[in-house]
Amino acid sequence: MDQQPVAVIGLGYVGSVTAASLAARGHRVIGLDRRAPVTDAMARGIAPIPEPGLEERLARAASRQTLELTTDPSVLARCRASLVCVGTPVGADGQLVVDDLLAALDDVARFAPRDHVCVIRSTVPPGLYERARRRLARPDVGLALNPEFLREGSAVADLEKPELIVFATEDEHAARFCEALYADQSERLRRTDPPTAEVLKLVNNAWHALKVAFANEVARVTLPVGVDPFAVMSLLCADTKLNTSAAYLRPGMPFGGACLVKDVASITTHAAKHAVDAPLFGSILRSNDAHLRFLVDTVLAHRPKTVAIVGVGFKPGAADVRDSAPVRLVHALLDAGLHVTVADSAVLDARVPPLGLDALRAALGDPRAQAAPDVAHAVAGADLVVVGHPCAEDRAALVAAAPKVPVLDTAGELSRKLSDEDRASLAPVVVLASRR
């Protein structure tokens, strides 16, 4: 990387670790913070936070003479790029306070040379990238987001041996800088769009918080019946195929089936029976219902008269419709006054009575819903097509039918499993789908 210095603005938890680690690896770094005691301490090799390995990095940087510390923002005029690591605490209204971040951007706008790159590592609220772009008001300064995923107590290790590095920018000069900065960790580097990067850090920490709350609720509902919650969670975590994996972590239809709904209801009832306050468990079914209402509202927003739904099993390709979310969606749309036609080859292929169309009619459980013999019949005349949980045969049939109406890809089946060419033959309105 170019040896023109890189500035690290804000020497709190993230900034001090970032500055010391980069400098220890041979990058020329200027650490900038308004607090003189912090810059003075780091200049003497004293870590401003008790982080394992940090003082060793400071000592290595000192021996290599690669780290300069200052409170003077005019040093930005000498820097190729700046990594903004200032704090964004939460305010009384629950929103992140970005005053210090905006002040740092003002310094960049004032002092940075042409072709400077400003990389924001601070945790930011949605919409900050565009706000930052307007605040900088410097088309010659590239802007990028590079959210950090550092844990107190292991921040140095997390920075130097990360599982994932994410950056986002609309500027190719800034993209090249980020790629060069992480050249020795390129296999972990992922580029995304700014709105995704803004939300990612918040979602990550919400997920971690959810896991803690879940484990604690497990403790509260198991202890009244003499069960060791540590044993329960140890066994849960031993299953890395389903329980501690990416399984079930893809947005889509509400959950359904023979197990999830009844078992969530059971553990919630158990908690109430033992007077255990378990709001997380109690909210799961409510959240599931809210998601179904969202899908209903999405359909109604298109003002269709006739809707075709492809795939009504409780999961993709399944003939089992017990507590099926697509079937619940059918009933909700019928109740809203829409005409609904349904196709599902997996249900039509039933091996025990009822069979064929009779099996599909029985699965729907409502004479108002029309069971179609195939996808082509279902989508003919429809104003809108909803993709629920289709089997592979029905996905292919939908492409062949190529309806010239909006297609709501509720569970991402088209976006994930169709080729670009096949998808282009449709006119999907992406609801919860990803093209990646």
Residues that are catalytic: 259
In the beta sheet, which residues pair with residue 385? 308, 407
- Alpha carbons 121 and 124: distance in angstroms, whole number: 9
